[in-house]
Amino acid sequence: MNSLNRFALGGVLALGLAAGAGQSAEAQTRLASGTQFGNWTVSCEAVAVNETICVLSQRLVASGGQQFLAEFLAFADPEEPGAYIAARVPLGVHFPAGFALREEAGEDEIDFEWQSCSMELCEALVRLDPEMLQQMDASSNMIAGYLPQVEGEPLVFRVAIGGMREGLIALAAATGSPDPSGAE
């Protein structure tokens, strides 16, 4: 796994969100790394002997394929119904401008909170309750945006959300975490 993924997975562990998410290799065998859910891919990494953590990921680049826009990581809350989405963007982002998602035809924004930066990128995080997850699932695309530098123009782009809820439910089932959709 590349250093960007190690940073994000390390950030998840550092936040204490993976307290119940790191499962034995046997528990994770039901959902293999590379499994696709829409535009989301299961990405797993061994964090200790017989302990693996898996997340959904989606990497976005500009249409020419040269400019990295963002990478999203989604994972179920190990404690209660709901999920988290982490957005990773290139270093240099203007923090006060924030990072947000909104429905393509909507005006209500989901605001992320900046968590940390490495030498390569910065990461923002938001918790989604089951209702927010359901609303996002109804949208095939959302709009994301952030200000990549102090005097730059806002960077606004589409994010394919389809498959995220299904993937989060599958990840939760594989780790024994509560169903992120709140279903019993």
User: Does residue 48 surpass a pLDDT of 50?
Assistant: yes
Q: Please, which pLDDT band fits residue 7 given cuts at 50, 70 and 90?
A: very low
- The average pLDDT across 89-105 equals 89
Contact by Cβ (8 Å): 9, 33:
no
- Residue 93 reports pLDDT greater than 60: yes
DSSP 2: -
Question: 11 falls in which pLDDT band (50, 70, 90)?
Answer: low
Task: Tell me how far apart the alpha carbons of residues 120 and 78 are, in angstroms, rounded to a whole number.
Answer: 28
Domain residue spans of the chain: 3-175
Question: Under a CB-based contact definition with an 8 Å cutoff, are residues 160 and 140 in contact?
Answer: yes
Q: What is the pLDDT of residue 107?
A: 84
What is the per-residue pLDDT for 173? 92
pTM for the full predicted model: 0.83
pLDDT of the residue at 184: 64
Q: At what angle do helices 164-175 and 130-137 cross, to 10 degrees?
A: 140
* Higher local confidence (pLDDT), 66 or 172: 172
On average, the pLDDT of the chain sits at 84
Q: Indicate the SS3 state at residue 131.
A: helix
Domain 3-175 of CATH type 2.60.40.1880? yes
- pLDDT for the residue numbered 2: 47
Cβ 47 vs Cβ 13: under 8 Å: yes
For range 112-130, the mean pLDDT = 95
**pLDDT score recorded for residue 30:** 65
Beta bridge partners of 56: 42, 74
pLDDT tens digits, residue range 122-173? 999 999 999 999 988 888 899 999 988 888 788 899 999 999 999 999 999 9
Which phi and psi (to 5°) does residue 73 adopt?
-120, 130
